[in-house]
Structure 1
């Protein structure tokens, strides 16, 4: 992308605690609460919000969704859209909001996501896509578990990646979650033995290497900098963004140990004028432990095939030498369906605003947020910076 996002900044955010059950909530009611809190955090009035970006929740979607949400929130919009890139949707919203502001379409964009852990009679898993009808379904390879298991097994075969290296990712993120209010597993420590002795869901992936669905959501406000009020905390700048993708099924990929994140990251870092070495932290989409390990390679934090060694050698806690998923990520904070990716955006913003409390990364000024949709399908990379 040959463009700049210098006119805009992230000015506020909101996040709901993760919950195991909907407990009478709807996606729309969560969106309403998040909108109220994010607008207030940005120092705005509701009437100042003239842009809206949403993704499609697994539970609670309706036709004309932006109009339904705008009607319920009482918004008068000059720009609105739905971004549907799976787990990359939230990161994709941020650069689209900034681009809309750069184009003069609006001044303050509410980017909001919410979803439920399941309906009263419908388990979450039954609503997931069944997989490719020709190359996956006939062999019982139902995504996403089968796809990520195949990726993990191939990575182990090609590069010697070990189960305990993948397990360490889950353990590191759980330690971060213990300091995160509202985390789904914020009160239960985890060890490598716990991970490797948990149920083998889809060889070689264990239960604690896979996200748990929850109810929740998060939101951010992207504002025109010249129209942003002084709200008491520094704005967060979008220094660079990149997007890439080509497939829905990994059967279309020639090499399943490499993702399009290498392309989205290259574009984002080039636009930002920085390198991976400049990042003070990374918030990486973590539907499975193998996803984090592969993205460490593809985003440029280590060479291809060296992800296992990188994880072994580095401290990925919020106080370590490579802070990663500092709120616990989706593995421990929880994955609120289609809203899951926004927790990475919000945590990145929170760190750069200096509002992360006990888990604040000291001196954080540049951070990377990465979103992943499907089985390594849609990839979006953001490079964020402290604008204070």
Structure 2
């Protein structure tokens, strides 16, 4: 049981990452409409072809309820399938497989999966945006009365994402050892890829292992260049029926495997911080697709932190648990290397526009499979693994994408 590969990603759209101070201040509805138009144009479809929608509901500026109805109304599109998703950085891969499942079930024909970027408050009276920014100081943790983290974590200094991921990295070091230079190789390789991607935030700014190791310590052992830079942005993809995909502009990218696992919100409550949700999610995705980690031509791995990449590689089965440091030392992760990973630069060097940041991995996989990656195009590009991570390794998902024959 599972996906049969009869739904394909046919169109993509993505804003170039920008610093908040210079980014246009569009409302979420405006972003959704703009991204939908770009993705439809990329696919060669019309607005009337859409009859499905997956959108992030959490922190949507204009409303916290009835978001799909509001978006559909704004677009002028009646919907046969409507979904909100709240999985943080795993929302992108989660949106794509939900759309593919809805298409395969015959519920709809073409689904817009869209994640607008973070809003910037336009005035002191913009209470909703200010509330979101206040919560973001704690890395997305709830500060509301009664929330377990507000009661048990924040008062004791466990604030923001940095501390949680640093705690996981420290646990890894205690169990398996820690090679800071090996971890820095992730940053260097992805920056190399970004230097071949004009859309990347750090295009034209190469770094070395020494640069990473010399960057400021933020939360031991994580240094500044090992942590994503939040930016303004937004992204969308369109998932459609197989027959629709055949008449679109570009090669259809079929969704052949997926998996998802949600474990805990905070690592405080994890039974084992190193047994992350990406393991069961990836195993299900590979089994559904009928392939193995060694079969894929690229890995687009969610990379909010270098430790996220390390544990995702281990959990997905690209190397054994505890063997990640050796794997990092022995492989070349650039688009020219033996293990192409995050060939657009990853979020570490492309930029992370909130939950939409994870869509950059999906879109890079799609464009590589379609042969549209420009200077960083891979020679072998038919099969991709894509991961998503929400919270502090809390909720994770995996996709296997395959190009149409």
TM-score by length of 1: 0.95
1:115-134 aligned at under 5 Å gives the runs: 115-116=117-118, 118-120=120-122, 122=130, 123=133, 125-126=136-137, 128-130=140-142, 132-134=149-151
- Is the Cα–Cα contact under 8 Å of residues 20 and 117 in structure 1 kept in the other structure? no
1:223-259 Cα deviation digits (max 9, x unpaired): 0112335233210111111111221111221211220
- Alpha-carbon distance, 1:117 to partner: 6.5
The answer to which of 320-329 and 163-172 deviates more is 163-172
Q: Deviations over 1:125-161 (max 9, x none)?
A: 3372157134422220113111100011111121112
Structure 2 match to 1:138: 155
Deviates more, 1:335-344 or 1:125-134: 125-134
Residue 191 of structure 1 and its aligned partner are, at CA, apart by 1.4
**2:188 aligned with 1:171, yes or no?**
yes
**Match of residue 99 from structure 2:** 97
2:45 equivalent to 1:44 = yes
Paired residue for 1:354?
Answer: 371
CA separation of 1:119 and 1:216: change in aligned 2, threshold 3 A? same
1:148-187 matched pairs, under 5 angstroms: 148-187=165-204
- Per the normalisation by structure 2, the TM-score is 0.92
Q: How does 1:224-235 map onto structure 2 within 5 Å?
A: 224-235=241-252
Gaps of 5+ in 1: none
Give how far 1:113 is off. 0.9
> How far is 1:197 from its partner?
1.6
Greater mean deviation of Cα atoms: 194-203 or 320-329: 194-203
CA distance in 2: counterparts of 1:333 and 1:298, whole angstroms: 24
Whole-Å separation in 1 of the counterparts to 2:306 and 2:226 = 5
Which stretch shifts more, 312-321 or 62-71? 62-71
Deviation at 1:57, TM superposition (A): 5.8
Give me the whole-angstrom Cα distance separating, in 2, the residues matched to 1:61 and 1:258. 38
Q: Give the distance between the partners of 1:147 and 1:74, measured in 2 at CA.
A: 42
- 2:115 alignment partner, SS class: strand
Report SS of the residue matched to 1:132.
helix
Q: Are 1:339 and 2:338 counterparts?
A: no
* Structure 2 residue aligned with 1:29: 30
Q: Match for residue 268 of structure 1?
A: 285
Task: Give the CA deviation at 1:59.
Answer: 6.2
Kindly indicate whether the alpha-carbon contact (under 8 Å) linking 1:43 and 1:229 is maintained by their aligned counterparts in 2: no
Q: Distance in 2 between matches of 1:385 and 1:61?
A: 36
Q: Which structure 2 residue ranges, 5 or more long, are not aligned?
A: 125-129, 143-147
Q: Deviations over 1:285-337 (max 9, x none)?
A: 11101000110100000010111111111000011100001101111111111
**Whole-angstrom distance in 2 between the partners of 1:79 and 1:181:** 36
Q: 1:69-108 alignment to 2 at 5 Å?
A: 69-108=71-110
Q: Secondary structure at the match of 1:367?
A: strand
Measured in 2, the distance between the counterparts of 1:354 and 1:91 equals 21
- Contact 2:253–2:401 (CA<8 Å) still a contact in 1? yes
Do the aligned partners of 1:26 and 1:116 also contact (CA within 8 Å) in 2?
A: no
Change (3 A) 1:66 1:337: same
Runs of 4+ in 1 over 4 A off after TM superposition: 120-124
Distance, in Å, in 2 between the alignment partners of 1:351 and 1:80 is 29
- Is the Cα–Cα contact under 8 Å of residues 25 and 120 in structure 2 kept in the other structure? no
Cα distance between partner residues in 2 of 1:48 and 1:273: 31
8 Å CA contact 1:243–1:263 kept in 2: the answer is: yes
Aligned residue in 1 for 2:215:
198
SS of aligned partner of 1:340: helix
Q: Per the alignment, in what secondary structure is the counterpart of residue 240 of structure 1?
A: strand
Structure 2 CA distance for partners of 1:289 and 1:148, relative to 1, 3 Å = same
Give the length in aligned residue pairs: 387
Instruction: Tell me, yes or no, if the aligned pair for 1:117 and 1:337 is still in contact at 8 Å.
Output: no
Q: Deviations over 1:88-130 (max 9, x none)?
A: 0110011111111111110000111111264356457337215
Counterpart in 1 of 2:127? none
Q: Secondary structure, in 3 states, of the residue corresponding to 1:294?
A: helix
Contact persistence 1:314–1:322 (CA under 8 A) = yes
